[in-house]
Amino acid sequence: MVANVRKPERVLQREASVDGIAGFSRRQKIIRSRLLWAATLAFMAVAAGAVFESVAAYSGLFDACVAALVVTVGLGGIAFRRERRRPVAFEIGQDGLTTWDREGRSQYRQISGCAQWSDRLLALILVSAKGRSEPLLVPADALAGAGVFRELAVRARRCAQEHL
């Protein structure tokens, strides 16, 4: 009798673990990525330094500082605005992604292009129903786990191959 009671529990545990794997298609939260922010700050520093060196050679140090400050503020504003427009959650579909913005509005978009940089970064081209394409960078450190990143990468490659 005791052996018969344990067998159904094992079956239920196996079914639960299979459902856990299938659970990757649910809504996933996207958090702020340290990798992208570090790359953005490095780019801003290099751009400001290049502008400073170029202007200092012709106009002097004061004008070079002002020009470098203007470039830094401009690039920082663009980076901040882009961060505010970035989706905060997504759900993997059969041939695309449903994304949610900060206000909670959802939009379904098809994946038409995909590029992957090792296990760190995934660049997607998403096409809306109106035909407008928009890039989406998904760093691995912005997702809950490596399994979610792998699942998204596999689905994105499959969807992108269908559009070729």
pLDDT digits (tens, 9 = 90+) for 10-62: 433 333 333 344 444 478 888 888 989 999 999 999 999 999 999 999 999 99
- What phi and psi values does residue 82 have, to the nearest 5 degrees? -65, -40
First to last CA, the chain: 59
Span 58-79, mean pLDDT?
96
- According to DSSP, the residues that pair with 116 across neighbouring strands are 122
pLDDT digits (tens, 9 = 90+) for 132-162: 998 888 888 888 888 888 888 888 888 877 7
Give burial (CB, 10 Å; 0-12/13-18/19+) of 21. Answer: exposed
How does strand 96-100 pair with strand 28-29? Answer: unpaired
Report the greatest alpha carbon distance in the chain: 92
- What phi and psi values does residue 114 have, to the nearest 5 degrees? -150, 135
> Where are the domains positioned within the chain?
35-84, 89-162
pTM, 2 dp: 0.69
